Each structure stands twice: as structure tokens, then as C-alpha cells.
Amino acid sequence: MTMTGQPETDDASLQGVMLRGAWYYAAPAAEIARGRMMHRTLLGEPVLLGRDAEGKVFGLRDTCPHRGTLLSRGDFDGREVECPYHGWRFATDGRCTSIPSQCADQKPQAGDIRAATYPVAEAHGNIWVYVGAVGAYLPPLPVLPDAGATPQLHLCQRFPCNIDLAVIGLMDPAHGAFVHKSALWRTRQSIHEKQKSFSPVPGALGWRMDRHPASSNSRAYRIFLGGRPETEITYTLPSVRVEHATTGRYHYTGLTACTPVTADITDVHHVMYWNVPGTTLLRPLVRRVAERFLDQDRQAVLAMQEGLAFAPPTMLVRDADTQTRWYYRLKREWLAAQAAGRPPENSLTPVVLKWRS
């Protein structure tokens, strides 16, 4: 049951579905040195992420085609991965190059075997893995305006909930004063009516809170960037939020990317870039504040998850919950377009929303 007649969240077929055919944040680039590899579980799939001797990142399915052992538990010499169990070797493009136990007249030979691969991309110090069927065309990576080659900070928290619950918290404009109680940020007393204009993101399933002067109850921006920062926030499905604040001279870019580990576990990555001189020393403090924020979001989501386990009737109000409604609408379109083999269409139109926060 919903109060305003929108069916979006009543569609049980959407709940917790992990969207395939997208780039997902996998790891900070700095965590994979040359000649190293690591395991990641993404959307329930085992992924070996590695960086070869030349510095290029690659992704293999992290289960050995022989008996399923995790290849990432084996050795990597910067060119080939060797399975720890029977020593089958694989090049970074998935070709099997050696099966030590096979005699020359036996089948299969190495040339008959391939490990599956994943498209992997590195940009602005982040490593993304494309999960889904690989066609002729891969979508572009999320755009990070003003982000340099390396972030100032990366943090990640694991949310024991499905992707929807993790993502929806990022686009919820009305929880700040209650969840993130902080003198530096928002307080209950500072709640006031706001109007923000939104427009669809061209060529993607997403929307943008158009550029506007930073909210008067977001003191942190004004203290940190100085002057009169303007901010813009972009959300694109499946799970990427990009916030950009700039005074023209100084800027801050925040990427929040949720990656489903499994259907019930979601990693929330938060990556920050800024160019304010002399602030490198502030990093530990910013990290502490950001960790606390993310943990507050996590606690809020978990309390909601516990309540939802009782299957209560819920409602989406206007306009504070409108972005959540958009999320489900675009998610439904993602799946419908994929099922029909057509490009997705963003049906959102420019609109002004108002709420109190």
C-alpha cells in the first residue's frame, strides 16, 4: 500500500535485483601494485583483479577452469597466474598456457582452455569492473569533474543489506538532520524549506540536482572551500552518486559508488578529491568525519532493514521521496530495456522539487 498511488516500490520483482551490464567500483587503484592480484566478489561472481608487470590492470574469473580453486590464491609473476592446486597457468587475457599434468597425447591441452575475463578500467585512481554480457559496446565510466589522477581519500564500508537499501540512502534528502547529527553539518533547528531543480542525465539512466549555491546548513563546504561554493549532484544507475562543489578556484569532488558483493551484502565506496592547498594534513580528520557519516548511514539503513523484515506497509511522500521513486522507475526501465534488447530510455523530465531539510 502506498499513499500517493505510485507503484514503484511495490514491485517485488525489482527489490534487491543486482543490475548487470554496468561498471562497478572494484578497488582503489593504489591497492593493486604491479605484479599483484586480489580477489573480489562482485554481484556474487568471483573476480581476480590484477596488475601486470607493465602496470595494466586485468580481470579474470577467479575460479580455475580445472577444479574451481581460487586462482588469486596462487602465484603471479606479472605475466601469468598459476593455480595453487595443480599449477595450470593463465595469461592475463585468460589463455591457458600450461597444464603440467597432461602428457603430449592427452586432451585437453593448454590451448583448448580459457579462463573467462572481465573488462577492467582504471581512471582517477579507481578500478572499475564491468559485470554483464560483453557486447560490441561498453558504457562509459562515471564522469568525475575536476577529479585528479589520485584521490585524497578512499573509504569503504560494508553494508549487510541489498543494493537498493544501500543506494536509496544516498538520494534521500530528508534524513540529514536526524541521522547525521553534527555541529559542523546539519541540525534539527536548521531545517527549512528548500527547492532544487533537477534534470535527467542525457544518455544515461540518472538525474542531476542542478548546480546551485551550497545549502546554508552545509557549513562544511563553506569552511573548507571558502567563498561561495556551488554544488551539483548526479545520480546514475545502477549505483553511482557524484557530488561536485566548486568556487571556481577550489573544488571538491565526491564519488559514492555502491557495489553489490552478493544479494545481501553491499560495499559502499566513498572517494574524495579536492585541490585546496595546504589541506593534505587534514586528511586523517576528514577520514574520521567521513567514516562516521557513512557509519551513521549504515546504522540508519540497518534499522530500516530490520523494520522491513516485518513487511510493513510503507509510503513514498512527495517531494522528499521523489528521487527514490525515480530510482525504481529507472531500474525497471533498465531491466525492461535489457530484456527487450533495446537501448534504455530516460523518461524523467526537468522538474523543481521542494521539501524541508
Residue nearest to Fe ion (CB): 297
Q: With CB cut-offs between 5 and 8 Å by kind, which of ligand FES, Fe ion, none does residue 221 bind? A: none
Residue 159 contacts residue 266 (beta carbons within 8 Å): yes
User: Which class for 71: exposed (0-12), middle (13-18), buried (19 or more C-beta within 10 A)?
Assistant: buried
Q: With CB cut-offs between 5 and 8 Å by kind, which of Fe ion, ligand FES, none does residue 66 bind? A: ligand FES
What is the number of alpha carbons within 13 Å of residue 21 lying toward its C-beta?
A: 19
- Mask for 326-345, x = binds ligand FES (CB under 6 A): --------------------
Nearest to 156 by CA among 70, 60, 265: 265
- Mask for 10-49, x = binds ligand FES (CB under 6 A): ----------------------------------------
Q: What is the 8-class DSSP label of residue 95?
A: B
By CB under 5 A, name the binding residues for Fe ion.
Answer: 297
Closer CB to Fe ion, 177 or 204, in the complex: 177
| CA dist., res. 138 & res. 33, Å (int) | 26
Residue pointed to by grid coordinates 580459457: 114
Q: How far is the CB of 62 from ligand FES (least distance, A)?
A: 11
Q: How far is the CB of 85 from ligand FES (least distance, A)?
A: 4
Q: With CB cut-offs between 5 and 8 Å by kind, which of Fe ion, ligand FES, none does residue 45 bind? A: none
DSSP bridge pairs for 353: 196
The reply to whether 76 sits near ligand FES by the rule CB under 6 A is: no
Closer CB to Fe ion, 85 or 185, in the complex: 185
| CA dist., res. 72 & res. 208, Å (int) | 39
The reply to whether 85 sits near ligand FES by the rule CB under 6 A is: yes
Residue 321 contacts residue 7 (beta carbons within 8 Å): no
Q: With CB cut-offs between 5 and 8 Å by kind, which of Fe ion, ligand FES, none does residue 83 bind? A: ligand FES
Q: With CB cut-offs between 5 and 8 Å by kind, which of Fe ion, ligand FES, none does residue 297 bind? A: Fe ion
What is the number of alpha carbons within 13 Å of residue 205 lying toward its C-beta?
A: 23
Q: How far is the CB of 88 from ligand FES (least distance, A)?
A: 4
For ligand FES, which residue of 34, 39, 79, 86 counts as binding (CB under 6 A)?
86
The three-state (H, E, C) secondary structure of 236-266, written as one string: ECCCEEEEEEECCCCEEEEEEEEEEEECCEE
For ligand FES, which residue of 42, 83, 115, 127 counts as binding (CB under 6 A)?
83
Q: How far is the CB of 41 from ligand FES (least distance, A)?
A: 19
Q: With CB cut-offs between 5 and 8 Å by kind, which of ligand FES, Fe ion, none does residue 76 bind? A: none
Strands (E), 79-166: 80-82, 89-91, 96-98, 117-118, 120-123, 126-131, 153-159
For ligand FES, which residue of 34, 56, 67, 158 counts as binding (CB under 6 A)?
67
What is the number of alpha carbons within 13 Å of residue 169 lying toward its C-beta?
A: 28
Q: What is the 8-class DSSP label of residue 186?
A: B
Binding site for ligand FES (CB under 6 A): 64, 66-67, 69, 83, 85-86, 88
